[in-house]
Amino acid sequence: MTKSSILKKYLTGISLVFMLSLAATAIEVAIIGVKPYTSDQWVAAEKISGTLYKTFNNQKDFKVLTSGEVDTLIGDRKAFLEKYPGEVLAVNKVDAVIIGEIKPAGASYQTAIRFYNLKSGQSLEYVLAGNPLTIDKNLANGLLQRLNVALTTEHKITMVSGLTVELLSGGGIGIFKGQVFNVYRKEEPNPAFVKYTRSPLVRVGEIEVTSVNGNRATAKIIKEDSYLRIKIGDFVSRQIVAGYGTLEIDSIPRGATVFIDDFLIGKTPLTIRSVPEGTYKLVFKEPLHEDLIEKVKVKADTVNKITPVLPEKLGRLQINSNVQGDCYVNNVKQGKTPLILDLPKGFYRLELAVPGYPNQEQSVWISPGLSSTVFFHVTGSPAELYFESDPTGAMVYIDGSFVANSPYGPFFVEPGYHDVKMSKPGWRDWNERLLFTSGKKELVKATLQLPPGTITFYSEPARATIKVDGKEVGKTPFTYSEAGPGLITVEISKDGYRSVVKNINIYSNERLVVEETLERKIGTLTVQSLPEKAEVYLDGIYRGKTPLTLEDLPEDQYTLELSSGNLASRSKVEILDRERKEITIKLMPYWQLKNIEKRIVGFIGADFQATPLVVGLNTSFPISKNLTCKAELANYGGDFGGGYGEYAYYNSFLAGSDYYFGSGLGIFSFARYRVHPKGDSFGEAGAGLVYRVINPEVFVFNARLGASYQRLLRPYWEAECHIKTGISNLIFGAKLGSSPISNIEGRIAIGLTF
């Protein structure tokens, strides 16, 4: 046999032993189920059982049998539960069982769930009052919380013999075979780490339970501290107990002082033993380097090393100049003088740029932790300026101060940026910000412009858009003070109205008023029908009977509907400006129109209090504008978890109708039959008020409120909406309302309208 095959066989053996050890630590639990008080409560009972399965199966400490595996142990669960007397169960081949029952409590019910440790005879119970359909999660979580507390009970070692120990149960739910416990006792922690010590308890080792007899158990030692050793009187439990490790600390450079908070440990390199397991924050200090904070995670029974590199301290550079300018360090702009920078050790090239002056350069060396200063002395001759303007005689201002009337020169200024203005009565001011260079002659020439005129615009109707030379300037009423001078084009427009375009010649400083009345864009529509005397609705508003002529209709697209008894028509008609349109429409039976109420959809959803899954088909058919019939086939049911839910399946068959009056308000009625494959079947009937909002080409919304009767009278409500998707005849829907069993059910649907 080769070495690789031996190694492979060895690793496979280790993996198998590891997997078997994991399997042994899980407590095997059989969830028998919940005994209902009435036959109607089987759905609630299965829901509670399924939630218990999901909750406990998600815990690593439990291996939960499925419903089918439970049937193998006890036979038919339903028959077993119907005969359950409420006593401790005798079930072989599992460690524990969970069983419950629903009982009346005043006007409501209470549900009791019990957890039995079959090896020790100890048990735990959790009871909740309320609707059994809605308390399943609270029941499961409450029982699990109490059980987890019971499983953390502290036990005591009563005998140690070689690798075998004996335990005495401390109570709770008792001890299970395969459980792994920490063994611990109280020890004083290292003074340097007192703040970080979570508990005075020190882990001594680990044991695994091999057998249980009542409140006593036998276990084997699987891990032991070679120095402390496991002794009689030590405590065991599932709680986590910190162990100890060794910490080796060094640094670059060496000789750094190390602190944990304010507690001095020493200088690097150093070694610290008996460090409690955990995460620590270390502070390193060294005169020429920055303080450094490092986190280190210490693991029990291991040597944990850390060697951080401390960063050098920065040097400080102060840069000043007699004239403020932009400072560049190694060609990167850093700001304006005066400037203070913190830089790493090294050689740097500095450059100062002042507008109007030649750039200046210097070099400097920066040392860690030290400060350096650089000063730039900026000098240069003034700039020589000459001023001209068109027209002449404009007043010249430099940085807000009057200089002279143009033409004028020479005039000397300091190099750099200056604000220049030339002003003359009756003309627009000329303003510029200019850069003047040291020792250079500059000619500043300005062309002044005549001031504009002012136009005030009014229109009927108001809020019309104003454009001047194609540029939108505002909405009426509006005063425009930048018109011309000269010939301009003005356009006044508003949606639904005819635009007005005018050319206006305006002079400098002239004031004009423009008032315009906009004409409405209108057309005429003549409607005839076969047969005649049909009611005409335009965008849902009644306008008369055919033959009918509608004049002065604003330009737009309208929805035109005609109705005569059970005959109807629906179409779009567009009216254009100055158009006279005549149309003749042949009416057809109402149900032949394209209508979102005429649909068949498939849906999926959930009864939020009872059944996890609802699927089915729903159809709606409008007989007339006022009467709509509907039918539905739905299947309620689903696996609540672990196979629980076989008594929750049922089918629902529904037929009903809605009758609407002219306002959208109406009445609804329905009949439903509920078929349970494994239980009793029931009939249900209901009626009430319905309200409809509909755009037949886009959506329909229905809200219903009433009552239904199924053994007893209860409220019935629902709100549903169906919308066209824009893809052929595809529609999407959603519904929220009462279910056959509980108070709230939600669905989403997709299907076709035709």
Of 397-411, 523-537, 674-688, 710-724, minimum mean pLDDT range: 674-688
How large is the average pLDDT for residues 617-643? 92
CB 183 within 8 A of CB 206: yes
CB 304 within 8 A of CB 296: yes
Question: pLDDT tens digit string along 180-207?
Answer: 999 988 877 667 777 777 777 878 889 9
Q: Which two tokens stand for residue 564?
A: 């005569």
Q: How confident is the model at residue 15 (pLDDT cuts 50, 70, 90)?
A: very low
pLDDT of 315 strictly over 80: yes
How large is the average pLDDT for residues 518-531? 93
Reduce the secondary structure of 382-436 to three states and give it as a string.
CEEEEEEEECCCCEEEECCEEEEECCEEEEEECCEEEEEEEECCCCCCEEEEEEE
SS3 (DSSP) at 78: helix
> Looking at the DSSP assignment, which residues form a beta bridge with residue 260?
263, 282
Of 270-274, 411-415, 425-429, minimum mean pLDDT range: 270-274
pTM over 0.85: no
Note the Cα 211 to chain centre separation in Å.
50
How large is the average pLDDT for residues 347-374? 92
> What pLDDT, on the 0 to 100 scale, is given for residue 321?
93
pLDDT of 469 strictly over 90: yes
Residues 6+ apart with CB under 8 A from 156: 167, 168, 170, 233, 234, 235, 236
> Looking at the DSSP assignment, which residues form a beta bridge with residue 535?
545, 563
pLDDT of 392 strictly over 90: yes
Angle CA 570–573–578, to nearest 5: 155
pLDDT > 70 fraction of the chain, expressed in percent and rounded: 95
Q: How confident is the model at residue 121 (pLDDT cuts 50, 70, 90)?
A: confident
CA pair distance 176, 572, nearest whole angstrom: 78
> What pLDDT, on the 0 to 100 scale, is given for residue 55?
95
More reliable by pLDDT, 72 or 648: 72
CA pair distance 326, 333, nearest whole angstrom: 7
Mean pLDDT for the chain overall = 89
CA pair distance 236, 221, nearest whole angstrom: 12
Omega within 30 of 0 (cis) for the link into 410: yes
Question: pLDDT tens digit string along 141-193?
Answer: 999 999 998 988 999 999 999 999 999 998 888 899 889 999 988 877 667 77
Sign of the C-alpha dihedral, residues 622, 623, 625, 630?
A: negative
pLDDT of 373 strictly over 70: yes
CA pair distance 276, 297, nearest whole angstrom: 10
Work out the number of other CB atoms within 10 angstroms of the CB of residue 752: 13
How large is the average pLDDT for residues 247-266? 89
How large is the average pLDDT for residues 211-230? 86
pLDDT > 90 fraction of the chain, expressed in percent and rounded: 62
CB 616 within 8 A of CB 603: yes
Report all structural domains of the chain as residue ranges with CATH numbers, in order of start: 12-151 (3.40.50.10070), 155-242 (2.40.10.410), 245-306 (no CATH), 315-376 (2.60.40.10), 383-431 (no CATH), 453-516 (2.60.40.1120), 522-590 (2.60.40.1120), 599-753 (2.40.160)
Residues 6+ apart with CB under 8 A from 430: 389, 394, 421, 422, 423, 446, 447, 448
Give the burial string for 264-274 (b: 16+ CB within 10 Å, else e). ebebbeeebee
Q: How confident is the model at residue 8 (pLDDT cuts 50, 70, 90)?
A: very low
More reliable by pLDDT, 485 or 721: 721
> What pLDDT, on the 0 to 100 scale, is given for residue 16?
36
How large is the average pLDDT for residues 35-62? 90
Q: How confident is the model at residue 7 (pLDDT cuts 50, 70, 90)?
A: very low
3-state helix, strand, coil in the chain (%, to 5): 10, 55, 35
pLDDT of 13 strictly over 60: no
CB 292 within 8 A of CB 257: no
